[in-house]
Structure 1
Amino acid sequence: MAKVRPVRGATLNSDSTRFNLPQREADGDWLDDQTAIDGELPPLRTTVTIEKPKTIIARNQSPDIAFDRSVNPYRGCEHGCIYCFARPTHAFHDLSPGLDFETKLFAKPDAPALLREALAKRGYACQPIAFGTNTDPYQPIEAHWRITRGCIEVLAECDHPITITTKSDRVTRDIDLLAPMAAKGLSAVMISVTSLDPKIAATVEPRAPHPERRLAAVAKLRAAGIPAYVSLSPVIPQVTDHEMEHIMERAAEAGALGCFFLPVRLPHEVAPLFRAWLDAHFPDRAAKVMATIQSIRGGRDNDPDFHTRMRGQGPWAELLRTRFKIAARRYGLDTPYIALRRDLFRPPAGAQGELF
């Protein structure tokens, strides 16, 4: 069984085999005796490398995703959520989707300038820009780098709509920017709460803020007039699914306008990482969890099909949808997601378009 690093999500750091990268895992027999020889595994330090991309807006044409563009100020995420579908992106950099993903981070300090440049281009067509679609824009290193805030400042200046998804109450730091934008119909925030059980939350997403802090953030956002929603995603069968109704009740109490959920997805390297995590933390039910996930995913660990990957299939998926709909009606959380305004957008100050 893989050993657990203190306050980290993944139990493994093996490389992706998709790109024939060399394995970092040592010989298995030696690993069996590692703890006896060296003692408990030491905590891993988080490192941050500056990344200098040429562009910052990522485009998306997936038919089952509600946005067509996003900005990711960071690569990798210290929250360490074991189910994170962004983990495989680290393999493109010869880094492990496991522990490397949550300890070897990349920051993009040029993001605000690149965003300003993109918005100033002639012919730019305004649509909401999504933050938090790949890695969390308010993970702990944002406190120092403040790249997300810099990007919001650019969007606020241009009256450009923004949506944010995060597991962190740090988003409330930027209420001074988001509230005036919300008053114009330009901002909305979704806070992710997958479990209210502190022990489960600390295992599933070890460096994310306590669930109560996230719910408090929802209340603060709503008090400031900012549309705020709660995401239960992903729901993990046999681990967090029993909390669905309770989370939705607490979301309603915090003033959330609506809720959203997806069954857990395990693309590429996420599946073996998730299996190892289950063996380490839930050995009593690991087989049952995977059997249920496979029943939702057409007999596989993951279903990549655009038409079913977000919904799942079979009796288990249908049961989750039914429970969600009933709870949404009960707690008044079936309000459609707000449509943000696009007609107020103007290019950044100094853009060539303003000269004419």
Structure 2
Amino acid sequence: MKYVVITFGSLIILVSALPLIETGTWWIRIFDFPRVQIAVLCLLAMALAFYFLRKENRWFQTVFMVLLVASLFYHVSKIISFTPLVAPTAKKATDEGQKFSLLVSNVLMENQDFEKLKNLIASRDPDLILLTEPNLLWTRALIELDERYPHTIKEPLNNTYGMILLSKFPLKNGKVNYLVENNIPSIFAQVQLPNGGQFDFFGVHPEPPKPGSDTYERDTELLIVGKKIKEDPGPVLVAGDLNDVGWSKTSTLFREYSQLVDPREGRGFFNTYSVYLPLLRYPLDHVFYSNDFGLVRIEKLEPIGSDHFPMWVELSFEPDSTEAEEVDNTDAEENAEVEEKVEKGNEESQESSN
């Protein structure tokens, strides 16, 4: 049994150390996701080692336990910001008279239970809706919503990367961008609020890490959006299925670089994927925004037939707030890192398209 314990613990130490490598290789970056699960396995491995390795060489036992403890603390340090043990970075709303709501939902292209989503929209009545993965069939099924949402940007695709933005509010300068890859779109628009306020909206859905697909392009798309925000600062909201977790280095770098907050910090994980695997759920659907907004409510909603849970966020537009709680700013080294990652991602995208 002791060899089983040693093997098990060694694997936990290995998968804990792999994400420390600076690379976009998919089989390494995929271990950014299960921090909670690996932390639990670290605890299990420690308990087994304490019981079954008591008679082993004292030096080996000490080193083995130290590595497991270090692995546990490493994972906890990544995820603790998404628990009530730390203070939220996103401020609470102080003027709900300026609030609006946003529904973010990955519809799952193969899912044809259109009525579940339409019923959810009817019951919740959001002001803005961002849908990822819609194809032409989904677009046609939701055409009736255009009456309630007269301002739209639609880019249906059959490759699971289609996007739809529906809005009750006017949209200025709306456009579909292909920032990195020519088959993966993103959406930009300036949202005009009824009270005269305006903010930039970015809808994104980059490619996930998977066999044959590394994360260079995913990271590059997010950081390009970050550069646009930094070059033109102002009220901004970024939403979508990022196929990344909020505690990853790329997500953290993006938020620090663009000075956006994550409303989940200090409040909870809000794991949206996968509906079908309760023990393997991660927060892949995100809403980040500048400190010009106050949080009214954030929720994970009931499933709609997709493999993702929808996300619901209510915000209040408060650009004149004096209680700013900004994330730490980036230094010159991090700025250089952003440029390096963008350049690397563009190179990888060009090579894969040739």
Q: Is TM more than 0.5 here? A: no
Whichever structure has more strand as a proportion of its residues is 2
TM-score by length of 2: 0.30
TM-score by length of 1: 0.30
